[in-house]
């Protein structure tokens, strides 16, 4: 019988965070320079306003995304990856490369 090795709690928390539905796509949009709410939403087909707002709040709480309010008329809000968020770029690119090799395009 093999010994059971528990999954690292940090790893599990990280996978749950970045693996939440829509989060990866939002991160990719931010990595590609889409920083306004409407541009992020347009970059991710099927993403609702409610879900985008929820995911952005979570990413902001986790210090992955920074929300910046632009003093203009009307007021504008932009989102940027923090250093912690930018550190995910290689992870996201690796998953993207894996997906191109192993995941079929939806019909």
- Please report, to the nearest 10 degrees, the dihedral formed by the alpha carbons of residues 8, 10, 12, 13 taken in order: 160
Give how far the C-alpha of residue 4 lies from the chain's centroid of Cα atoms, to the nearest Å: 32
**Rounded distance, CA 61 to CA 38, Å?**
21
Q: Which segments of the chain does DSSP mark as H helices, in order?
A: 9-18, 23-31, 37-43, 49-61, 83-86, 89-102
pLDDT band at residue 1, thresholds of 50, 70 and 90? Answer: confident
CB atoms within 10 A of CB 88: 19
Question: What tokens were used for 73?
Answer: 């008329």
Mean model confidence pLDDT for the chain: 95
pLDDT in tens, 28-43: 999 999 999 999 999 9
pLDDT of res. 36? 96
**Residue among 49, 45, 51 nearest 29 (CA):** 45
Is the pTM for the entire model greater than 0.95?
no
**Rounded distance, CA 50 to CA 71, Å?**
24
pLDDT band at residue 107, thresholds of 50, 70 and 90? Answer: confident
The stretch 75-82 carries a mean pLDDT of: 96
């Amino acid at each position: 019988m093999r010994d059971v090795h528990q999954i690292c709690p940090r790893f599990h928390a990280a996978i749950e965070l970045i693996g939440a539905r829509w989060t990866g796509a939002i991160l990719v949009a931010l990595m590609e320079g889409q920083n306004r709410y409407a541009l992020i939403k347009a970059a991710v087909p099927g993403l609702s306003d409610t879900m985008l707002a929820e995911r952005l709040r979570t990413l902001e709480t986790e210090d992955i995304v920074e929300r910046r309010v632009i003093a203009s008329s009307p007021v504008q809000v932009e989102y940027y990856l923090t250093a912690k968020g930018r550190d995910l770029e290689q992870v996201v690119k690796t998953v993207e490369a894996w997906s191109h090799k192993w995941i079929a395009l939806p019909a």
